[in-house]
Amino acid sequence: MRSRLLPFLLLPLTAASASPPATPDEARAFVKTVNEEMKTLAVKGSTADWIKSTYITGDTERASAWANDDLIAYTRRVLEQAKRFDGLPLDPDTARMLLLLRVNNTVLAPADPAHRAELTELLARMEGLYGAGKYCGPDGQGKCRDLLQLEEVVNRSHDPKALLDAWTGWHAVGRQIRPLYERFVVLANEGARDNGFQDVGALWRSAYDMTPEEFEREAERVWAQVKPLYDDLHCYVRAALQKKYGKALVPDGKPIPAHLLGNMWAQEWTNIYPLVEPYPGVSSLDVTRRLEAQHWDARRMVKLGESFYTGLGLDPLPATFWTRSQFTKPRDRDVVCHPSAWDVTWSDDQRIKMCIRPQEEDLITIHHELGHNYYQHAYVKLPFLYMTGANDGFHEAVGDALALSVTPAYLVKAGLLDRVPPTNDKALINSQLKSALEKVAFLPFGKDIDVWRWQVFSGKVTPASYESSWWALRTKDQGIGPPVPRTEADFDPGAKYHVPANVPYTRYFLARVYQFQFYRALCKAAGHQGPLHACTFAGSKEAGRRLEAMLALGASKPWPDALQALTGERRTDGGALLEYFAPLKTWLKEQNRDQSCGW
Protein backbone atom coordinates (compact mmCIF):
# COMPACT_ATOMS: atom_id res chain seq x y z
CA MET A 1 0.00 0.00 0.00
CA ARG A 2 1.18 3.53 -0.68
CA SER A 3 2.21 5.55 2.35
CA ARG A 4 -0.39 7.53 4.27
CA LEU A 5 1.27 10.94 4.03
CA LEU A 6 -0.42 13.67 6.03
CA PRO A 7 2.02 16.34 5.05
CA PHE A 8 0.85 20.20 4.86
CA LEU A 9 -1.37 23.41 3.23
CA LEU A 10 -1.09 27.07 2.56
CA LEU A 11 -4.44 28.42 3.70
CA PRO A 12 -4.88 31.77 5.49
CA LEU A 13 -5.51 30.64 9.05
CA THR A 14 -5.76 32.92 12.05
CA ALA A 15 -2.67 32.83 14.24
CA ALA A 16 -3.19 30.91 17.46
CA SER A 17 -1.59 33.65 19.51
CA ALA A 18 -4.33 36.12 18.47
CA SER A 19 -7.18 33.84 19.57
CA PRO A 20 -9.03 33.97 22.89
CA PRO A 21 -8.80 30.98 25.27
CA ALA A 22 -9.96 27.85 23.49
CA THR A 23 -13.06 25.83 24.35
CA PRO A 24 -14.08 22.21 23.69
CA ASP A 25 -16.67 23.44 21.18
CA GLU A 26 -13.95 25.24 19.25
CA ALA A 27 -11.87 22.08 19.26
CA ARG A 28 -14.76 20.13 17.73
CA ALA A 29 -15.24 22.80 15.08
CA PHE A 30 -11.51 22.85 14.44
CA VAL A 31 -11.22 19.13 13.73
CA LYS A 32 -14.31 19.27 11.50
CA THR A 33 -12.66 21.97 9.39
CA VAL A 34 -9.34 20.14 9.34
CA ASN A 35 -11.00 16.93 8.14
CA GLU A 36 -12.62 18.79 5.24
CA GLU A 37 -9.62 20.87 4.22
CA MET A 38 -7.07 18.10 4.65
CA LYS A 39 -9.10 15.74 2.50
CA THR A 40 -9.19 18.35 -0.29
CA LEU A 41 -5.42 18.68 -0.16
CA ALA A 42 -4.88 14.92 0.13
CA VAL A 43 -6.86 14.43 -3.08
CA LYS A 44 -4.60 16.92 -4.85
CA GLY A 45 -1.50 15.23 -3.47
CA SER A 46 -2.57 11.66 -4.23
CA THR A 47 -3.67 12.65 -7.75
CA ALA A 48 -0.25 14.15 -8.40
CA ASP A 49 1.44 11.11 -6.80
CA TRP A 50 -0.57 8.73 -8.99
CA ILE A 51 0.48 10.57 -12.13
CA LYS A 52 4.10 10.68 -10.98
CA SER A 53 4.13 6.97 -10.17
CA THR A 54 2.54 5.95 -13.47
CA TYR A 55 4.41 8.46 -15.67
CA ILE A 56 7.83 9.33 -14.27
CA THR A 57 9.24 12.56 -15.65
CA GLY A 58 10.84 15.64 -14.17
CA ASP A 59 7.55 17.49 -14.66
CA THR A 60 5.45 14.91 -12.80
CA GLU A 61 8.00 14.79 -9.99
CA ARG A 62 7.75 18.58 -9.60
CA ALA A 63 3.96 18.52 -9.68
CA SER A 64 3.93 15.85 -6.97
CA ALA A 65 6.41 17.80 -4.86
CA TRP A 66 4.35 20.99 -5.15
CA ALA A 67 1.10 19.24 -4.19
CA ASN A 68 2.67 17.52 -1.23
CA ASP A 69 4.37 20.73 -0.16
CA ASP A 70 0.93 22.33 0.13
CA LEU A 71 -0.30 19.47 2.29
CA ILE A 72 2.85 19.56 4.41
CA ALA A 73 2.52 23.31 4.92
CA TYR A 74 -1.11 22.94 5.95
CA THR A 75 -0.36 20.19 8.42
CA ARG A 76 2.33 22.30 9.99
CA ARG A 77 -0.07 25.23 10.41
CA VAL A 78 -2.89 23.22 11.92
CA LEU A 79 -0.54 21.36 14.24
CA GLU A 80 0.60 24.72 15.58
CA GLN A 81 -3.03 25.84 16.02
CA ALA A 82 -4.00 22.55 17.68
CA LYS A 83 -1.73 23.41 20.61
CA ARG A 84 -4.54 25.75 21.79
CA PHE A 85 -6.54 22.70 22.80
CA ASP A 86 -3.87 21.00 24.92
CA GLY A 87 -5.23 20.18 28.37
CA LEU A 88 -8.89 20.81 27.52
CA PRO A 89 -11.55 18.26 28.57
CA LEU A 90 -12.39 16.94 25.09
CA ASP A 91 -14.83 14.31 23.93
CA PRO A 92 -13.16 11.06 22.80
CA ASP A 93 -13.58 11.66 19.06
CA THR A 94 -12.10 15.15 19.14
CA ALA A 95 -9.20 14.02 21.32
CA ARG A 96 -8.44 11.06 19.05
CA MET A 97 -8.53 13.16 15.89
CA LEU A 98 -6.12 15.67 17.37
CA LEU A 99 -3.81 12.78 18.30
CA LEU A 100 -3.97 11.29 14.81
CA LEU A 101 -3.33 14.70 13.28
CA ARG A 102 0.04 14.66 15.05
CA VAL A 103 1.17 11.07 14.65
CA ASN A 104 -0.23 9.84 11.32
CA ASN A 105 2.54 11.46 9.32
CA THR A 106 5.55 9.92 7.65
CA VAL A 107 7.24 13.32 7.54
CA LEU A 108 6.51 16.73 9.04
CA ALA A 109 7.36 20.14 7.64
CA PRO A 110 10.25 22.24 8.90
CA ALA A 111 9.28 25.72 9.99
CA ASP A 112 11.57 27.17 7.31
CA PRO A 113 9.55 27.36 4.04
CA ALA A 114 12.67 26.90 1.92
CA HIS A 115 13.58 23.75 3.83
CA ARG A 116 10.01 22.49 3.49
CA ALA A 117 10.13 22.92 -0.28
CA GLU A 118 13.53 21.25 -0.46
CA LEU A 119 12.24 18.33 1.60
CA THR A 120 9.32 17.61 -0.74
CA GLU A 121 11.55 17.96 -3.78
CA LEU A 122 14.01 15.46 -2.30
CA LEU A 123 11.23 12.94 -1.68
CA ALA A 124 9.98 13.19 -5.23
CA ARG A 125 13.49 13.00 -6.67
CA MET A 126 14.54 9.96 -4.64
CA GLU A 127 11.44 7.99 -5.63
CA GLY A 128 11.95 9.05 -9.23
CA LEU A 129 15.56 7.83 -9.23
CA TYR A 130 14.43 4.52 -7.83
CA GLY A 131 11.62 4.10 -10.35
CA ALA A 132 13.84 4.97 -13.30
CA GLY A 133 16.84 2.96 -12.07
CA LYS A 134 18.57 0.72 -14.63
CA TYR A 135 21.71 -1.40 -14.87
CA CYS A 136 23.62 -1.34 -18.14
CA GLY A 137 26.36 -3.88 -17.42
CA PRO A 138 29.59 -3.63 -15.42
CA ASP A 139 31.07 -1.11 -17.85
CA GLY A 140 27.82 0.77 -18.47
CA GLN A 141 27.90 -0.17 -22.15
CA GLY A 142 25.68 -3.25 -22.13
CA LYS A 143 21.95 -3.72 -22.59
CA CYS A 144 20.15 -1.70 -19.93
CA ARG A 145 17.80 -3.62 -17.65
CA ASP A 146 15.29 -2.19 -15.17
CA LEU A 147 14.32 -3.64 -11.80
CA LEU A 148 11.68 -6.00 -13.20
CA GLN A 149 14.17 -7.49 -15.65
CA LEU A 150 16.86 -7.85 -13.01
CA GLU A 151 14.36 -9.40 -10.61
CA GLU A 152 13.58 -12.04 -13.23
CA VAL A 153 17.21 -13.14 -13.02
CA VAL A 154 17.36 -13.14 -9.21
CA ASN A 155 13.98 -14.85 -8.93
CA ARG A 156 14.60 -17.65 -11.42
CA SER A 157 18.29 -18.19 -12.12
CA HIS A 158 20.47 -20.65 -10.21
CA ASP A 159 23.68 -19.46 -11.85
CA PRO A 160 25.77 -17.76 -9.13
CA LYS A 161 27.50 -15.46 -11.65
CA ALA A 162 24.22 -14.27 -13.18
CA LEU A 163 22.72 -13.80 -9.73
CA LEU A 164 25.69 -11.76 -8.56
CA ASP A 165 25.64 -9.58 -11.68
CA ALA A 166 21.92 -8.79 -11.28
CA TRP A 167 22.24 -8.20 -7.54
CA THR A 168 25.21 -5.84 -7.78
CA GLY A 169 23.70 -4.13 -10.81
CA TRP A 170 20.49 -3.17 -9.09
CA HIS A 171 22.08 -2.28 -5.76
CA ALA A 172 24.25 0.27 -7.53
CA VAL A 173 21.09 2.43 -7.85
CA GLY A 174 21.49 3.31 -4.19
CA ARG A 175 24.72 5.22 -4.78
CA GLN A 176 23.01 8.12 -6.56
CA ILE A 177 20.29 8.22 -3.89
CA ARG A 178 22.73 8.32 -0.97
CA PRO A 179 23.60 12.08 -0.95
CA LEU A 180 19.93 12.96 -1.32
CA TYR A 181 19.04 10.70 1.57
CA GLU A 182 21.67 12.25 3.82
CA ARG A 183 20.14 15.67 3.23
CA PHE A 184 16.63 14.26 3.60
CA VAL A 185 17.45 12.94 7.09
CA VAL A 186 18.60 16.40 8.17
CA LEU A 187 15.50 18.16 6.87
CA ALA A 188 13.02 15.50 7.99
CA ASN A 189 14.47 15.54 11.52
CA GLU A 190 14.24 19.33 11.52
CA GLY A 191 10.55 19.03 10.70
CA ALA A 192 9.98 16.42 13.38
CA ARG A 193 11.69 18.56 16.05
CA ASP A 194 9.82 21.69 14.93
CA ASN A 195 6.61 19.75 15.59
CA GLY A 196 7.51 18.38 19.00
CA PHE A 197 9.10 15.01 18.22
CA GLN A 198 12.66 13.97 19.05
CA ASP A 199 13.25 12.74 15.48
CA VAL A 200 11.42 11.07 12.59
CA GLY A 201 11.78 7.62 14.13
CA ALA A 202 10.07 8.81 17.31
CA LEU A 203 7.29 10.27 15.15
CA TRP A 204 6.72 6.91 13.45
CA ARG A 205 6.76 4.96 16.72
CA SER A 206 4.23 7.35 18.25
CA ALA A 207 1.50 6.10 15.91
CA TYR A 208 0.75 2.89 17.86
CA ASP A 209 -1.27 4.13 20.85
CA MET A 210 1.79 3.84 23.10
CA THR A 211 5.02 5.72 23.67
CA PRO A 212 7.89 5.33 21.16
CA GLU A 213 9.92 3.50 23.80
CA GLU A 214 7.07 1.12 24.61
CA PHE A 215 6.55 0.35 20.94
CA GLU A 216 10.23 -0.41 20.38
CA ARG A 217 10.15 -2.86 23.28
CA GLU A 218 6.91 -4.37 21.95
CA ALA A 219 8.45 -5.01 18.52
CA GLU A 220 11.41 -6.76 20.13
CA ARG A 221 9.08 -8.83 22.34
CA VAL A 222 7.15 -10.11 19.32
CA TRP A 223 10.37 -10.82 17.43
CA ALA A 224 11.64 -12.85 20.38
CA GLN A 225 8.45 -14.94 20.20
CA VAL A 226 8.93 -15.94 16.58
CA LYS A 227 12.75 -15.90 16.28
CA PRO A 228 13.29 -19.60 17.18
CA LEU A 229 11.18 -20.67 14.20
CA TYR A 230 13.15 -18.34 11.93
CA ASP A 231 16.44 -19.73 13.20
CA ASP A 232 15.30 -23.28 12.46
CA LEU A 233 14.25 -22.28 8.94
CA HIS A 234 17.56 -20.51 8.30
CA CYS A 235 19.54 -23.57 9.36
CA TYR A 236 17.59 -25.88 7.06
CA VAL A 237 17.78 -23.52 4.08
CA ARG A 238 21.51 -22.98 4.43
CA ALA A 239 22.12 -26.74 4.45
CA ALA A 240 19.95 -27.18 1.36
CA LEU A 241 21.75 -24.37 -0.49
CA GLN A 242 25.08 -25.99 0.37
CA LYS A 243 23.97 -29.05 -1.60
CA LYS A 244 23.33 -26.83 -4.62
CA TYR A 245 26.21 -24.35 -4.45
CA GLY A 246 28.78 -26.05 -2.22
CA LYS A 247 30.25 -25.03 1.10
CA ALA A 248 32.81 -22.79 -0.54
CA LEU A 249 30.00 -20.40 -1.48
CA VAL A 250 27.69 -21.22 1.46
CA PRO A 251 29.94 -22.08 4.43
CA ASP A 252 28.87 -23.72 7.67
CA GLY A 253 28.17 -21.34 10.54
CA LYS A 254 28.21 -18.24 8.31
CA PRO A 255 25.55 -15.86 6.96
CA ILE A 256 23.92 -16.88 3.67
CA PRO A 257 25.04 -14.69 0.73
CA ALA A 258 22.09 -12.43 -0.07
CA HIS A 259 22.05 -13.05 -3.83
CA LEU A 260 21.30 -16.78 -3.44
CA LEU A 261 17.90 -16.50 -1.75
CA GLY A 262 15.68 -15.87 -4.77
CA ASN A 263 14.76 -12.28 -3.99
CA MET A 264 16.55 -9.04 -4.81
CA TRP A 265 16.54 -8.04 -1.13
CA ALA A 266 16.60 -11.56 0.37
CA GLN A 267 13.41 -10.60 2.17
CA GLU A 268 11.32 -13.58 1.09
CA TRP A 269 12.76 -16.88 -0.11
CA THR A 270 9.84 -18.47 -1.97
CA ASN A 271 11.66 -18.56 -5.30
CA ILE A 272 14.30 -20.97 -4.02
CA TYR A 273 11.65 -23.53 -3.06
CA PRO A 274 12.71 -25.90 -5.88
CA LEU A 275 16.19 -25.99 -4.34
CA VAL A 276 15.03 -26.67 -0.78
CA GLU A 277 11.82 -28.69 -1.36
CA PRO A 278 11.67 -31.38 1.34
CA TYR A 279 9.96 -34.07 -0.76
CA PRO A 280 10.38 -33.34 -4.48
CA GLY A 281 7.36 -34.12 -6.59
CA VAL A 282 5.01 -34.73 -3.66
CA SER A 283 1.87 -32.67 -4.26
CA SER A 284 3.74 -30.00 -6.17
CA LEU A 285 1.78 -26.74 -6.34
CA ASP A 286 3.33 -25.07 -9.40
CA VAL A 287 0.78 -22.31 -9.85
CA THR A 288 3.13 -20.18 -11.95
CA ARG A 289 3.40 -22.91 -14.58
CA ARG A 290 -0.40 -23.15 -14.79
CA LEU A 291 -0.83 -19.39 -15.06
CA GLU A 292 1.63 -19.30 -17.94
CA ALA A 293 0.28 -22.39 -19.70
CA GLN A 294 -3.32 -21.14 -19.49
CA HIS A 295 -2.33 -17.65 -20.66
CA TRP A 296 -3.78 -15.83 -17.69
CA ASP A 297 -3.59 -12.09 -18.20
CA ALA A 298 -3.46 -9.41 -15.52
CA ARG A 299 -7.17 -8.59 -15.57
CA ARG A 300 -8.18 -12.23 -15.14
CA MET A 301 -5.83 -12.57 -12.18
CA VAL A 302 -7.34 -9.48 -10.53
CA LYS A 303 -10.86 -10.77 -11.20
CA LEU A 304 -9.97 -13.95 -9.33
CA GLY A 305 -8.82 -11.85 -6.38
CA GLU A 306 -12.04 -9.86 -6.37
CA SER A 307 -14.10 -13.07 -6.39
CA PHE A 308 -12.48 -14.14 -3.12
CA TYR A 309 -13.71 -10.98 -1.38
CA THR A 310 -17.18 -11.04 -2.89
CA GLY A 311 -17.41 -14.69 -1.82
CA LEU A 312 -17.23 -13.44 1.78
CA GLY A 313 -20.23 -11.21 1.12
CA LEU A 314 -18.22 -8.02 0.51
CA ASP A 315 -19.06 -5.60 -2.29
CA PRO A 316 -17.65 -5.86 -5.81
CA LEU A 317 -14.94 -3.37 -6.72
CA PRO A 318 -16.27 -0.15 -8.29
CA ALA A 319 -16.45 0.01 -12.08
CA THR A 320 -13.83 2.77 -12.09
CA PHE A 321 -11.32 0.36 -10.55
CA TRP A 322 -11.12 -1.53 -13.83
CA THR A 323 -10.56 1.56 -15.99
CA ARG A 324 -8.21 3.54 -13.73
CA SER A 325 -5.83 0.91 -12.31
CA GLN A 326 -2.38 0.16 -13.73
CA PHE A 327 -2.22 -3.62 -14.15
CA THR A 328 0.78 -3.97 -16.47
CA LYS A 329 4.01 -2.13 -17.20
CA PRO A 330 3.57 0.36 -20.06
CA ARG A 331 6.04 0.06 -22.91
CA ASP A 332 6.40 3.78 -23.54
CA ARG A 333 7.45 5.22 -20.19
CA ASP A 334 9.00 4.67 -16.78
CA VAL A 335 6.64 3.80 -13.94
CA VAL A 336 6.96 2.67 -10.33
CA CYS A 337 6.15 -1.04 -10.53
CA HIS A 338 6.19 -1.56 -6.78
CA PRO A 339 2.65 -2.85 -6.01
CA SER A 340 0.38 -0.44 -4.17
CA ALA A 341 -3.33 0.14 -3.54
CA TRP A 342 -4.94 3.57 -3.73
CA ASP A 343 -8.15 5.48 -3.15
CA VAL A 344 -6.93 8.45 -5.14
CA THR A 345 -9.83 10.79 -4.35
CA TRP A 346 -10.62 9.30 -0.93
CA SER A 347 -14.14 8.59 -2.15
CA ASP A 348 -14.27 4.93 -3.26
CA ASP A 349 -11.85 5.68 -6.12
CA GLN A 350 -10.01 2.41 -5.53
CA ARG A 351 -7.15 1.39 -7.80
CA ILE A 352 -4.11 -0.83 -7.74
CA LYS A 353 -0.76 -0.04 -9.35
CA MET A 354 1.22 -3.11 -10.36
CA CYS A 355 3.20 -4.56 -13.22
CA ILE A 356 1.47 -7.94 -13.07
CA ARG A 357 3.16 -11.05 -14.43
CA PRO A 358 1.57 -14.52 -14.69
CA GLN A 359 3.32 -15.71 -11.54
CA GLU A 360 2.10 -17.16 -8.27
CA GLU A 361 3.86 -14.38 -6.34
CA ASP A 362 1.89 -11.74 -8.24
CA LEU A 363 -1.39 -13.63 -7.77
CA ILE A 364 -0.87 -13.59 -4.00
CA THR A 365 0.17 -9.92 -4.14
CA ILE A 366 -3.10 -9.11 -5.91
CA HIS A 367 -5.07 -10.68 -3.05
CA HIS A 368 -2.97 -8.62 -0.62
CA GLU A 369 -3.40 -5.30 -2.42
CA LEU A 370 -7.14 -5.78 -2.79
CA GLY A 371 -7.26 -6.13 1.00
CA HIS A 372 -6.17 -2.48 1.16
CA ASN A 373 -8.90 -1.52 -1.28
CA TYR A 374 -11.59 -3.30 0.73
CA TYR A 375 -10.32 -1.64 3.92
CA GLN A 376 -10.54 1.75 2.15
CA HIS A 377 -14.07 0.97 1.00
CA ALA A 378 -15.17 -0.05 4.51
CA TYR A 379 -14.13 3.25 6.16
CA VAL A 380 -14.81 5.61 3.25
CA LYS A 381 -17.68 7.39 5.04
CA LEU A 382 -15.65 8.21 8.15
CA PRO A 383 -14.04 11.63 8.75
CA PHE A 384 -10.76 11.95 6.87
CA LEU A 385 -8.52 11.58 9.93
CA TYR A 386 -10.12 8.18 10.56
CA MET A 387 -9.67 7.00 6.96
CA THR A 388 -6.78 4.63 7.60
CA GLY A 389 -6.13 1.38 9.44
CA ALA A 390 -6.33 0.90 13.19
CA ASN A 391 -2.57 0.99 12.79
CA ASP A 392 -0.56 0.60 9.62
CA GLY A 393 0.14 -3.06 10.36
CA PHE A 394 -3.59 -3.77 10.23
CA HIS A 395 -3.82 -2.40 6.71
CA GLU A 396 -1.06 -4.72 5.55
CA ALA A 397 -2.38 -7.78 7.41
CA VAL A 398 -5.92 -7.87 6.03
CA GLY A 399 -5.06 -9.04 2.54
CA ASP A 400 -2.41 -11.41 3.85
CA ALA A 401 -4.89 -13.03 6.24
CA LEU A 402 -7.30 -13.65 3.39
CA ALA A 403 -4.52 -14.95 1.18
CA LEU A 404 -3.84 -17.64 3.81
CA SER A 405 -7.22 -19.00 2.83
CA VAL A 406 -6.15 -19.29 -0.82
CA THR A 407 -5.91 -23.05 -0.43
CA PRO A 408 -5.52 -25.84 -2.99
CA ALA A 409 -9.30 -26.22 -2.99
CA TYR A 410 -9.65 -22.56 -3.97
CA LEU A 411 -7.03 -22.99 -6.69
CA VAL A 412 -8.82 -26.07 -8.02
CA LYS A 413 -11.99 -24.00 -8.44
CA ALA A 414 -9.93 -21.37 -10.26
CA GLY A 415 -8.57 -24.03 -12.64
CA LEU A 416 -5.00 -23.59 -11.41
CA LEU A 417 -4.77 -27.07 -9.90
CA ASP A 418 -6.30 -30.31 -11.14
CA ARG A 419 -7.13 -31.67 -7.72
CA VAL A 420 -6.62 -31.10 -4.02
CA PRO A 421 -3.37 -32.89 -3.15
CA PRO A 422 -3.61 -35.68 -0.59
CA THR A 423 -3.12 -34.46 2.95
CA ASN A 424 -0.27 -36.79 3.89
CA ASP A 425 2.60 -35.68 6.09
CA LYS A 426 5.01 -35.11 3.21
CA ALA A 427 2.57 -32.93 1.31
CA LEU A 428 1.87 -30.90 4.43
CA ILE A 429 5.58 -30.27 5.10
CA ASN A 430 6.13 -29.23 1.47
CA SER A 431 3.24 -26.80 1.70
CA GLN A 432 4.27 -25.37 5.06
CA LEU A 433 7.89 -24.92 4.06
CA LYS A 434 6.87 -23.06 0.91
CA SER A 435 4.68 -20.74 2.98
CA ALA A 436 7.38 -20.25 5.61
CA LEU A 437 9.86 -19.18 2.93
CA GLU A 438 7.58 -16.19 2.41
CA LYS A 439 6.13 -15.43 5.82
CA VAL A 440 8.71 -16.60 8.35
CA ALA A 441 11.80 -15.72 6.32
CA PHE A 442 10.52 -12.15 6.08
CA LEU A 443 10.23 -11.48 9.81
CA PRO A 444 13.70 -10.08 10.68
CA PHE A 445 13.89 -8.13 7.41
CA GLY A 446 10.47 -6.60 8.13
CA LYS A 447 11.67 -5.43 11.52
CA ASP A 448 15.16 -4.27 10.66
CA ILE A 449 14.41 -1.87 7.81
CA ASP A 450 12.94 0.50 10.38
CA VAL A 451 15.32 -0.38 13.20
CA TRP A 452 18.11 0.83 10.90
CA ARG A 453 16.20 4.00 10.05
CA TRP A 454 15.34 4.67 13.68
CA GLN A 455 19.07 4.56 14.38
CA VAL A 456 19.79 6.86 11.43
CA PHE A 457 17.16 9.40 12.46
CA SER A 458 18.32 9.34 16.09
CA GLY A 459 21.94 9.93 15.09
CA LYS A 460 23.13 6.60 16.48
CA VAL A 461 24.05 5.71 12.88
CA THR A 462 25.76 8.52 10.96
CA PRO A 463 26.38 8.83 7.20
CA ALA A 464 29.90 7.57 7.81
CA SER A 465 28.47 4.15 8.73
CA TYR A 466 25.25 3.90 6.69
CA GLU A 467 26.38 0.85 4.74
CA SER A 468 28.30 -1.00 7.44
CA SER A 469 25.51 -0.57 10.00
CA TRP A 470 22.94 -1.80 7.46
CA TRP A 471 24.78 -5.07 6.94
CA ALA A 472 25.71 -5.46 10.59
CA LEU A 473 22.03 -5.36 11.55
CA ARG A 474 20.89 -7.66 8.77
CA THR A 475 23.65 -10.13 9.56
CA LYS A 476 22.84 -10.13 13.28
CA ASP A 477 19.09 -10.76 12.93
CA GLN A 478 18.66 -12.25 9.47
CA GLY A 479 21.83 -14.28 9.12
CA ILE A 480 22.57 -13.05 5.60
CA GLY A 481 25.49 -11.06 4.26
CA PRO A 482 26.46 -9.12 1.14
CA PRO A 483 27.77 -11.33 -1.67
CA VAL A 484 30.65 -8.94 -2.40
CA PRO A 485 32.53 -6.49 -0.17
CA ARG A 486 30.71 -3.19 0.37
CA THR A 487 32.09 0.24 1.20
CA GLU A 488 30.55 3.50 2.33
CA ALA A 489 30.38 4.54 -1.32
CA ASP A 490 27.51 2.04 -1.57
CA PHE A 491 24.03 2.64 -0.22
CA ASP A 492 22.20 -0.66 -0.31
CA PRO A 493 19.26 0.65 1.79
CA GLY A 494 18.48 2.95 -1.16
CA ALA A 495 17.98 -0.09 -3.40
CA LYS A 496 14.84 -0.95 -1.38
CA TYR A 497 11.83 1.12 -2.45
CA HIS A 498 10.57 2.00 1.01
CA VAL A 499 13.77 3.83 1.98
CA PRO A 500 13.92 6.45 -0.81
CA ALA A 501 10.09 6.65 -0.80
CA ASN A 502 10.12 7.18 3.01
CA VAL A 503 7.52 4.50 3.70
CA PRO A 504 7.69 3.10 7.26
CA TYR A 505 8.26 -0.65 7.20
CA THR A 506 7.46 -2.03 10.65
CA ARG A 507 3.88 -2.32 9.40
CA TYR A 508 4.96 -5.32 7.31
CA PHE A 509 6.59 -7.05 10.28
CA LEU A 510 3.44 -6.51 12.34
CA ALA A 511 1.30 -7.67 9.43
CA ARG A 512 3.13 -11.01 9.30
CA VAL A 513 2.04 -11.53 12.91
CA TYR A 514 -1.41 -9.93 12.82
CA GLN A 515 -2.44 -11.91 9.74
CA PHE A 516 -2.30 -15.16 11.69
CA GLN A 517 -4.27 -13.65 14.56
CA PHE A 518 -6.86 -12.41 12.06
CA TYR A 519 -6.82 -15.75 10.26
CA ARG A 520 -7.35 -17.72 13.46
CA ALA A 521 -10.30 -15.50 14.38
CA LEU A 522 -11.86 -15.75 10.90
CA CYS A 523 -11.47 -19.52 10.95
CA LYS A 524 -13.25 -19.60 14.28
CA ALA A 525 -16.03 -17.42 12.89
CA ALA A 526 -16.38 -19.82 9.97
CA GLY A 527 -16.78 -22.73 12.40
CA HIS A 528 -13.48 -24.43 11.60
CA GLN A 529 -12.53 -27.43 13.70
CA GLY A 530 -9.07 -28.95 13.68
CA PRO A 531 -5.50 -27.75 13.13
CA LEU A 532 -5.17 -24.10 12.20
CA HIS A 533 -3.16 -24.80 9.06
CA ALA A 534 -6.04 -26.89 7.68
CA CYS A 535 -8.56 -24.04 7.79
CA THR A 536 -10.18 -22.15 4.95
CA PHE A 537 -12.90 -19.58 5.45
CA ALA A 538 -13.44 -18.90 1.74
CA GLY A 539 -17.15 -18.35 1.14
CA SER A 540 -18.00 -17.83 4.83
CA LYS A 541 -20.40 -14.91 5.14
CA GLU A 542 -19.98 -14.88 8.93
CA ALA A 543 -16.22 -14.49 8.55
CA GLY A 544 -16.87 -11.68 6.08
CA ARG A 545 -19.26 -9.98 8.51
CA ARG A 546 -16.72 -10.11 11.34
CA LEU A 547 -13.98 -8.81 9.07
CA GLU A 548 -16.02 -5.91 7.77
CA ALA A 549 -16.99 -4.89 11.30
CA MET A 550 -13.30 -4.40 12.10
CA LEU A 551 -12.49 -2.70 8.80
CA ALA A 552 -15.33 -0.20 9.20
CA LEU A 553 -13.74 1.16 12.39
CA GLY A 554 -10.83 2.60 10.42
CA ALA A 555 -8.66 4.49 12.90
CA SER A 556 -11.61 5.68 14.98
CA LYS A 557 -10.59 3.48 17.94
CA PRO A 558 -7.17 2.52 19.38
CA TRP A 559 -5.83 -0.56 17.62
CA PRO A 560 -6.33 -2.90 20.62
CA ASP A 561 -10.07 -2.14 20.35
CA ALA A 562 -10.06 -3.01 16.64
CA LEU A 563 -8.06 -6.18 17.30
CA GLN A 564 -10.53 -7.18 19.98
CA ALA A 565 -13.49 -6.54 17.65
CA LEU A 566 -12.26 -9.32 15.37
CA THR A 567 -10.19 -11.63 17.57
CA GLY A 568 -11.28 -11.03 21.17
CA GLU A 569 -7.59 -10.28 21.97
CA ARG A 570 -5.96 -6.97 22.83
CA ARG A 571 -2.25 -7.77 22.42
CA THR A 572 -0.05 -8.60 19.44
CA ASP A 573 0.68 -12.30 19.68
CA GLY A 574 3.06 -14.43 17.63
CA GLY A 575 1.41 -17.51 19.05
CA ALA A 576 -1.04 -17.85 16.16
CA LEU A 577 1.85 -17.91 13.66
CA LEU A 578 3.62 -20.57 15.72
CA GLU A 579 0.40 -22.58 15.95
CA TYR A 580 -0.04 -22.45 12.18
CA PHE A 581 3.51 -23.68 11.51
CA ALA A 582 3.63 -26.23 14.35
CA PRO A 583 4.03 -29.26 12.02
CA LEU A 584 6.93 -27.55 10.21
CA LYS A 585 8.61 -26.56 13.46
CA THR A 586 8.72 -30.18 14.62
CA TRP A 587 10.02 -31.36 11.24
CA LEU A 588 12.74 -28.69 11.04
CA LYS A 589 14.05 -29.63 14.48
CA GLU A 590 14.50 -33.19 13.27
CA GLN A 591 16.19 -32.16 10.01
CA ASN A 592 18.60 -29.81 11.78
CA ARG A 593 19.68 -32.31 14.42
CA ASP A 594 23.13 -32.88 12.91
CA GLN A 595 23.56 -29.43 11.34
CA SER A 596 25.79 -26.58 12.49
CA CYS A 597 23.13 -23.92 13.03
CA GLY A 598 23.60 -20.23 13.74
CA TRP A 599 26.03 -17.74 12.22
Question: pLDDT-derived band of residue 423, with 50, 70 and 90 as boundaries?
Answer: low
Side-chain-facing half-sphere of 295: CA atoms under 13 Å: 0
pLDDT at 289 over 60: yes
Whole-model pTM: value is 0.86
Other beta carbons within 10 angstroms of residue 501's beta carbon come to: 20
Q: What is the DSSP string of 89-145?
A: ---HHHHHHHHHHHHS-S----SSHHHHHHHHHHHHHHHHHHHT-EE--TTS-S--E
pLDDT at 122 over 50: yes
Closest CA relative to residue 483, chosen from 219, 224, 163: 163
Report the DSSP beta bridge partners of residue 257.
Answer: 481
pLDDT at 524 over 90: yes
248-262 per-position pLDDT tens digit: 999 999 999 999 999
pLDDT at 519: 96
Query: Under a CB-based contact definition with an 8 Å cutoff, are residues 430 and 598 in contact?
Result: no
Q: CA-based angle 293:299:300, to the nearest 5? A: 50
pLDDT at 224: 97
Give the whole-angstrom CA distance, residue 235 versus residue 233. 5
Closest CA relative to residue 372, chosen from 344, 350, 349, 403: 350
pLDDT at 431: 87
Report the amino acid identity of residue 59: D
Stretch 127-142: mean pLDDT: 88
pLDDT at 6: 46
pLDDT at 112 over 60: yes
Give the whole-angstrom CA distance, residue 125 versus residue 41. 21
